[in-house]
Amino acid sequence: MARIIIVFLLLSTGTLAAQSWCGAKAYDDPQQKRFYQEFLSQAKQLESYQHVRNREVEYIPVVIHVVAREGFNPVSQAQALQQLDVLNNDFAAQGDNIGKLLDEFTPLVVPADIHFCLATVDPSGQPTTGITFTATTKEFIGTEYSGQFEGRRVIQYDELGGKTGWDNSRYINIWVGECQNILGSATMPGAANFEEEVGIIIDIQHFGAFGDAGFYNEYDRGHTLTHEMGHFLGLKHIWGEGNSIDCSDSDDIDDTPNQGGPYYGCPEGEQISCELNDMYQNFMDLTNDRCLAAFTRDQVARMNNTLELVYPDLPSSTSCNAPIAFFDEWFDELVWSTDAMNHKIIVYHPVGTLGKKSIRVFSTEGKLFFEKEWNDDQSVLINLNNAANGIYIVNVTMGEECRSKKVVMY
């Protein structure tokens, strides 16, 4: 309960303070600070002539390392895919809170042209689900540091009872395990103390979007990963890195309003600090999951340039299938069980689902007979008992992709 108590205390005193649910690793030694300054000047140089962008979508493979105690919130393939849906919608500027942005900030919002997918090939070239599972008996392995091993993070090493990450030039490693007092953490470019620790850690209770199934309803929509991915791709907190609330600190991003400190909870209407309206719905603030809505254009540019400057081999990695190929393959494996007499069809996938989809049934004249959102369930029941005998077209839609199948009712 510690983090909730902290948040309530902050709300009740109304002060801006440094306490954070985010454990992102800041630049805390001179060498790391020099790296950041050099990175920043190169990124700003790129951004100065990249106002008009016409990039292709970059596909980035991620691998999820679940390190969990037995019986403790197991992470399924469906849950991982659904968490990536949240992440991808957020990066596409189509997240669930996008409509809540204040009008003055909507012109700043652009899609990021970055799409994350579960790795389909492991470092040795073998097929993979993109998820590894490691059993542990440690309670808070996600926030544990090794005393004997130069202060390394236990969850990130086989030798310490965690899981060693995959080649971080080709995959983004996301560790999911129990954390104490934080929801997640990430290494900013050049800020990892050890090369093996480049990546993201998410508290197992805040991985995915499960509504009231989460322990902490303020953070149950899956946006913690979006925030940490922002750090991983070079973004600081929107108020800057330090603890000062005197407006002297900056996030080094031009189009975000200067902000005195973090917001918590989910404020409404105009909130002002540093004489400006604050963008407390920015993914890099600390408001809760019903509030976090968007990245700005300059944040998006910074993330793309981080990929180019720091992780150039991630997008060219072949271990990530583009969704269209993946969707085709998935659609081809669907099993159609038709009960023509009773005008019912059960459609199911033998392995699993692919995240958010919809299914619609039309007559050959284009009249809609059936419509249903199809999310994490492995199967869907189509009931056409009010429809006449004849031929029907079943459309399955995911994102902008749609595939069709003809069925006959007689």
Q: Using CB under 5 A, count the residues that bind Zn ion.
A: 2
Report the C-alpha gap between 117 and 326 in whole angstroms.
10
Active-site residue 228, yes or no? yes
Q: How far is the CB of 24 from Zn ion (least distance, A)?
A: 4
The active-site residue out of 47, 197, 218, 228 is: 228
Q: How far is the CB of 234 from Zn ion (least distance, A)?
A: 12
Q: Name which of residues 2 to 61 contact Zn ion (CB under 5 A).
A: 22, 24
Burial 71-83 (b: 16+ CB within 10 A, else e): eebebebbbbbbb
User: CA nearest 97: which of 232, 257, 268?
Assistant: 268
Q: How far is the CB of 86 from Zn ion (least distance, A)?
A: 17
Q: Which is nearer to Zn ion, 237 or 343 (CB)?
A: 237
Report the C-alpha gap between 83 and 204 in whole angstroms.
12
Answer yes or no whether residue 131 interacts with Zn ion by CB under 5 A.
Answer: no
Q: Which is nearer to Zn ion, 132 or 224 (CB)?
A: 224
Q: How far is the CB of 21 from Zn ion (least distance, A)?
A: 8
Q: Which two tokens stand for residue 104?
A: 């003055």
Asked if 197 contacts 36 with a C-beta cutoff of 8 angstroms, the reply is no
Using a 10 angstrom Cβ sphere, with 0-12 exposed, 13-18 middle and 19 or more buried, the burial of residue 347 is buried
Q: How far is the CB of 292 from Zn ion (least distance, A)?
A: 11
Q: Which is nearer to Zn ion, 155 or 292 (CB)?
A: 292
Positions marked active-site:
228
Footprint of Zn ion on this chain (CB under 5 A)?
22, 24
